[in-house]
Chain A
Amino acid sequence: MRAAIVLLGIFWSTSLCAQAAQPCVGDEGLSDATHLSELREAAVRVKVVQCSGGSQDEVTQAFVEFIEGNQDWFARFGGFENDLNPMAVIKQTLAAGRTYDIPSIGISLNDELQIGAAFFAPASMATCQARAAPEACPNVFDEFIEYYTHAHTAYATPPRLAFVQGVKALSGEWDRYLTASRGFTTLEMAFNSAMYKRNESVDFQNPPDIQWILLHPNIVIENVDDAADGNNVEEAIVVDIFGMNWWRQDKWYMPTGFAVTGVYSDRPEVQDWGYGASLFFDSVYTVGYSNHDGDHGVYVSFDLLKLFQDKEQVYDRLVSRLREN
């Protein structure tokens, strides 16, 4: 039994070592070469530098060597029209010091190689066809693009992933804005959007720092001391007429925003409507002051009390009170 366990342990650790030592092959997903086997090998070498853990500088250097070592890959197919050479164009980018911006190579609608606004067609289609046979000349370009892109991707992946991280992080801020801020009514969405779009640019933007509050209805629990006994604490409707909310503020004891409000509640001997002001906490909870023609009140949002009171009962009481009017 003990021998079996020892043997199992040796086998397991040997497998792990074998896995750890497995070389990076560098040709995953790459088609076999029909026309450009040397170029394929060169592209794989670049990929191996990357997947073996080479630094970005090392990968870039390997890619530069790939470009410089394969300038004449199309020579045996007759070369390019007007003696142009896509690899030479790319060398110019390197000479200008823009190693962070080595171009990708695509194919045009006329089956030419394309780098931006530069197009590269075979000097002689007949020669190219003859050398590519039984395949067609454009297939040579397809193969070139596949291998060039394989090497280029090894070089360009880190900044692309950095971009993905960047936009995802910004997207997360927008998620927070849309979920952590006070809920938007349609009117508020229209107003906040108009304010946001005034300064929209061609770069991705942060969410607005300020959420504008406009004619936002709420239900609150209001206490008016001067009301008749038994009517002090009542449900009330508050409309936040205009206000602002700084949704990023995350200290629970500091207000996130404020609004000027109109308040309605139904009590005998107290004017139904009044004016006041609200303070918001955590962008959700409301604490406020009301003035019903000299009768002062304070109120808190319904959310704050939801842990302590039955929502349904409150709704029913308010609805029936309004219906009585």
Chain B
Amino acid sequence: MAKKTLVVVHGMGQHTKASVKKEVDDAFKAAFKLYDSLNGAKPSDKFDLVVFEYNSFFDDYRSALEENSNDILEALSGISGDLPPIPKLAAAITQLDNSVKEDSFFNTHWLDVVLYRFSLLSEPIRLELAAVIGEAIARVGSTNVHVLGHSLGTAVLHDTLAKAYGAEPLERDGKSLKLLSNRDRLGGVHQVANVSRVLESFRNVDASEVRPGHGCCSVFVEYRHKLDPFTKVKPFDPTDNEEWISHAVWRSAYQLVEPSSVTETNVHGLGHYLRNPMVHLMLFRLLFGFRPNVSEKTAASDKYLAGTVQGKATALRDAVDNLQLTEESVGELLMAGKAFKDLVKSFGEKF
């Protein structure tokens, strides 16, 4: 079979193309080892992996802030005592800019969410991702391209596809700016820890072109770990009532995968999701037609489950129960994320 392409859009945090590729590669390699029939094979033999990195947009913005705040403004912000009103105002503004460029957890993680959702930096990010997806489908054919978003990446992916796809061509100022849902339909959209609904803006996620069937993809799969707190805030939860998609499409082209096994505290991590057979079997079937028989699947599942950690699962369940989410907002998402981050670090793990 000709090789398919998986385009991965990472979540919040300090990511590079190489770091995301490594995380995904390592997870898939661990998955391959669970199956005798994949013994000796490498994921890169079976499909191509393309990583879309957009962290640099936020880093460039932070660097530009640093450049624009020249030496004297930095000296201004360090002066104590009463400043006259105008320098005081200049100092206050500079202090705000300086705080954004500091290397704190808020700035390297949550700020990405805020910047993506509320700033105009989101549009150039979407345009770059659209170009990556367009190049992939031009190269191998749209059916052979699957796209996967993780965490904040689910919002980036949803918004990009919602703008990139339509029923009719669009040309503006001599530029072609639409792919056609019918002609250029993707093989699949995979949303891991989907937060696109809580971050929706110009179009609600249940009204956009990003849906299976008549929309931009043949199949649409969500992956939501039962103990992942990020997915508890305003999740995308369609129902089978012919509102979002028809019964036939629901039956054949939409699925919600809900793993619950815990092998590390950071159940939100992309690698943790991908190592779970419930997740990677779906991807492997669609990417290279991998359909192991029942006994091979059971053996693989047993090997995977041998690594689960009861203590961490209990702590996670308690943490999720303690979350008192009163409103479905970006603020609640960040609060849930902070509590989760603290829990992960308490186990000595990296978030």
Contact = CB atoms under 8 A, between A and B. Distances in A.
Contacts of A104: 141-143, 182-185
Interface centre among B61, B83, B176 (most CB of A within 10 A): B176
Interface stretch (B128-136, B224-232, B305-313, B331-339): B128-136
B219 interface: yes
Contacts of B2: 29-31, 146, 149-150
Contacts of B187: 106-107
Contacts of B170: 203
Nearest to A208: B120
B175 A322 contact: no
Interface stretch (A80-88, A155-163, A243-251): A155-163
A204 B127 contact: yes
Interface in B131-170: 131, 134-135, 137-138, 140-144, 162-164, 166, 169-170
Interface stretch (A10-18, A135-143, A252-260): A135-143
Contacts of A192: 120
Contact of B71 (A145, A206, A311): A311
A210 interface: no
Contact of A156 (B128, B173, B183): B183
Contacts of B178: 163, 203
Interface centre among B72, B79, B93, B128 (most CB of A within 10 A): B72
A219 B73 contact: yes
Interface centre among A106, A138, A171, A318 (most CB of B within 10 A): A106
A264 B84 contact: yes
Contacts of A165: 175-176
Contacts of A138: 289, 291
A192 B122 CA distance: 13
A318 B131 CA distance: 48
Nearest to B115: A189
Contacts of B97: 185-186
A242 interface: no
A264 B79 contact: no
A114 B187 CA distance: 10
A298 interface: no
What is the interface residue range for chain A against chain B? Answer: 35 or more
Interface string B80-116: 0001111101100110110010000000000000000
Contacts of A315: 70-72, 75
A164 B73 contact: no
A175 to B, nearest CB: 7
B177 interface: yes
A55 interface: no
Given A106-B143, A262-B86, A273-B84, A171 B124 contact: yes
B172 to A, nearest CB: 8
A156 B70 contact: no
A312 B100 CA distance: 25
B118 interface: yes
Interface residues of B, number: 92
Interface stretch (A1-9, A95-103, A125-133, A222-230): A95-103
A103 B185 contact: yes
Contacts of B209: 202
A159 B96 contact: no
A160 B138 contact: yes
A318 B208 CA distance: 55
Interface in B198-231: 201-203, 208-209, 213-214, 218-219, 221
Given A174-B127, A178-B124, A149 B141 contact: yes
B54 to A, nearest CB: 12
Given A178-B124, A322-B79, A183 B64 contact: yes
B248 A119 contact: yes
B253 interface: yes
A314 B188 CA distance: 59
Nearest to B132: A164
Contact of B176 (A93, A109, A159): A159
8 contacts: A106-B188, A110-B252, A150-B2, A161-B138, A190-B118, A203-B178, A219-B70, A311-B71
Interface of B: 1-3, 60-61, 64-65, 67-68, 70-73, 75-76, 79, 83-87, 89-90, 93-94, 96-97, 100, 118-121, 123-124, 126-128, 130-131, 134-135, 137-138, 140-144, 162-164, 166, 169-173, 175-185, 187-188, 201-203, 208-209, 213-214, 218-219, 221, 245-246, 248-249, 251-255, 286, 289, 291
Interface of A: 29-31, 93, 100-110, 112, 114, 116-117, 119, 136, 138-139, 142-143, 145-146, 149-150, 152-153, 156-157, 159-171, 174-175, 178, 183-187, 189-190, 192-194, 196-197, 200-208, 215-217, 219, 235, 237, 239, 262-264, 272-273, 302, 311-312, 314-315, 318-319, 322-323, 325
